[in-house]
Amino acid sequence: KKDLKVPARHIEEMTDLPVSEITTKSIVAFKLAINGYTALLFDNDYEQGIEYLERSVKEDPSFAVIYDALHGLYFSLNMNEKREQALELLMKHLYKLPENKQYHVKAMYHDMKGNPEKQLAVLKMWSDLYPDNISPHVDLVRYYHDKDQLEKVISENKRILELDPEQYNCIREIGNIYKRKGDYETALKYYEQYAEIFPDEYESFTTIGDLYKTIGGLPSGKVLL
């Protein structure tokens, strides 16, 4: 990993499982998975891609990373029954995923089962055990959004920026939350910070313009370029 120049914090987060443990010992299942990813990524053929991936886990029912991929695909396509089945099977074979990934899956599972307290407990444990990883904080942002806990959404976005200052969307997201809270001055500060980073991005200035519409127009002498 060091020879590949993987950042130190990523090395610390990785679990060195054998490839066969993370993937599959079945050559047939592996080839079907490759065909599935090829259809999805290069041909943009979701139907064919899903069919290959489903055949892959039929060939090796313990191929956990494919259940994870299928869960995401089913979710994006609103195939809720299949999504739940994939997550149940993913939980059954959770041991085949790196520990860091297991927390994300457990949190999704508790969310699906309607156990927000357990979901939050898993996310907090994940963030405590992997303090330099932004992923648990990204999931916490979603969790607190769903619960309309806006101050905590702001706090988690700020934590993400501390860990990775290049997560620029968090800057705009913080501005959006302050706008929702009616703190237009602070919202403007974050919108302008985002616009300074992306001066050529159309959305940089539409967010500022929309904010001024909300508060009743531009201040005297203020011009949006």
Give one DSSP letter per residue of 76-116, joined into a string: HTT-HHHHHHHHHHHHHTGGGS-HHHHHHHHHHHHHHTT-H
Angstrom CA distances, 150 to 15, 47, 135, 175, stand at 34, 38, 19, 11
Confidence tier at 218 by pLDDT (50, 70, 90): low
Residue 135 identity (one-letter amino acid) = S
What gap in Å lies between CA 101 and CA 217, rounded to an integer?
A: 47
Task: Give the chain's mean pLDDT.
Answer: 88
- pLDDT tens figures, 164-190: 999 999 999 999 999 999 999 999 999
Max CA pair span of the chain: 69
Going from N- to C-terminal start, the domains of the chain cover 18-89
- pLDDT tens figures, 31-58: 999 999 999 999 999 999 999 999 999 9
Least confident of 19-23, 149-153, 163-167, 179-183: 19-23
Confidence tier at 217 by pLDDT (50, 70, 90): low
Domain 18-89 has CATH 2.40.50.140: no
Find the mean pLDDT for residues 14-38: 78
What gap in Å lies between CA 193 and CA 199, rounded to an integer?
A: 10
CB 201, CB 185: distance < 8 Å: no
What gap in Å lies between CA 125 and CA 59, rounded to an integer?
A: 35
Say what the pLDDT of residue 106 is. Answer: 97
Task: Please state at what angle helix 135-146 crosses helix 150-163, rounded to 10 degrees.
Answer: 170
User: Residue 41 corresponds to which tokens in the numbers above?
Assistant: 């990524």
List the one residue out of 144, 206, 202 whose CA is nearest residue 175: 206
Find the mean pLDDT for residues 13-29: 67
